[in-house]
Amino acid sequence: MSLLQVRNLDVTFDINPRGAWPWTPPLKLQAVKDMSFDLEAGQTLGVVGESGSGKSTLARAIVGTVPSSGGEILWEGRDLRQMSPRDRRRHRRDVQMVFQDPLAALNPRMNVGQIIAEPLLTHYPDTTKAEARRRAGEMMERVGLLPNLLNRYPHEFSGGQCQRIGIARALVLEPRLLICDEPVSALDVSVQAQVVNLLKKLSREMGLSMIFIAHDLSVVKHVSDRTLVMYLGRKMEEGGAKEIVRAPRHPYTQALIASVPIPDPERERARVRPVIEGELPSPVNPPSGCVFRTRCPKARPDCAEGVPPMLEPDPGHRVACPYQEVISPLERTA
């Protein structure tokens, strides 16, 4: 049985238009629509897509901070919405989250020792402060920071160090699933590599499952076992991380990979780039049929008639496009 199963998940928000009358019915913003995937124990799933694709909303729905409008989120076969408050509280120990902005995620009024120890004292109130501080020091060492820095405050650390503190706080409860919501997008490139390597190392040592959200497919390929590509709340493509980068089939995935520059200037100038034109449509009024059709270079008239089914051209590789094709490896990054 999979550790986490998401089945036909929908997340909808009510939006009140500015200047509308009080009795005007709210608009429906479809942030996530008909999302399904499985996550095995010890596996890392990468979720990619441009801003507004619904990646963070999907993560928050799994954590439980955003209510779902339909579908199921199953934890070891149990529907999270059917859990009692006591079971739900116990479940929160097993699922922790690392946020995008490392400094904003930390309480500036608490020192690092208090920040890391807070989850322990919340979920295990019988833990003594001395024991919590000891555990916090151990986690500091595990994420590559000196334990004698426990009395310092977040503003005294760099962005990469603050992200390590956030990781330590998330892992001090020894969760089974870690959700990383663009944990490296606010960091320098050299620091990004350090944090990604740290997450890979910790997931291997602790037997963690991870959901890693990012914009950059090259980063996701490095850390993930499988990759899920989202656009306007829907799944466009899903498969092995290396397979999707090596042989992308959906036009949107191909464009995302083409946006990653190649270090070789001659190859960069010579390759053909699939270009995405136009702006991301509003999730309040998404296009009919395939939501990507208004920006797709391969769109046809029948793309507007119905939502394309998920096809499986290869075992474990699913694509929501009937006109899929594999582009040449010479036209994209390796």
CATH 3.90.1200.10 fits 4-15+27-277+307-331, yes or no: no
* pLDDT score recorded for residue 332: 43
Residue numbers in the chain where pLDDT is lower than 50 = 328-334
Q: What whole-number distance in Å separates Cα of residue 235 and Cα of residue 34?
A: 8
Q: Distance between CA atoms of 310 and 322, rounded to whole angstroms? A: 9
Buried b (16+ CB within 10 A) or exposed e, 8-34: ebbbbbeeeeeeeeeeeeeeebbbbbb
pLDDT in tens, 18-42: 777 777 888 899 999 999 999 999 9
- Report d(CA 266, CA 252) in Å as an integer: 25
3-state secondary structure 29-52: EEEEEEEEEEECCCCEEEEECCCC
Q: Which residues of 54-90 are buried (b: 16+ CB within 10 A; e: fewer)?
A: bbbbbbbbbbbebebbebbbbbeeeebeeeeeeeeee
Q: Would you give the DSSP letter of residue 18? A: T
**Region of 76 on the Ramachandran plot (φ > 0 left; ψ -120 to 50 alpha; else beta):** left
Closest CA to 53 of 181, 167, 163: 181
| Secondary structure in 3-state letters for 276-304 | CCCCCCCCCCCCCCCCCCCCCCCCCHHHH
- Compute CA 281 distance to the chain's CA centroid, rounded to the nearest angstrom: 21
pLDDT, position 333? 40
User: In this predicted model, what pLDDT tens digit does every residue of 184-206 receive, in sequence order?
Assistant: 887 888 888 899 999 999 999 99
Tokens of 198: 């740290």
Radius of gyration of the chain (CA): 21
Rounded Cα–Cα distance for residues 234 and 54 (Å): 8
Question: Structure tokens of 140?
Answer: 């500091």
The pLDDT of residue 327 = 59
Q: How remote is the C-alpha of 259 from its chain's centroid? A: 19
Q: Which of 305, 254, 252 is nearest to 280 (CA)?
A: 252
Condensed to tens digits (0 to 9), the pLDDT of residues 284-325 reads 999 999 999 999 988 899 999 989 999 998 899 999 999 887
Please work out, in degrees rounded to the nearest 5, the angle formed at the alpha carbon of residue 144 by the alpha carbons of 140 and 148.
45
CA distance 297 to 10: 28
Domain range list for the chain = 4-15+27-277+307-331
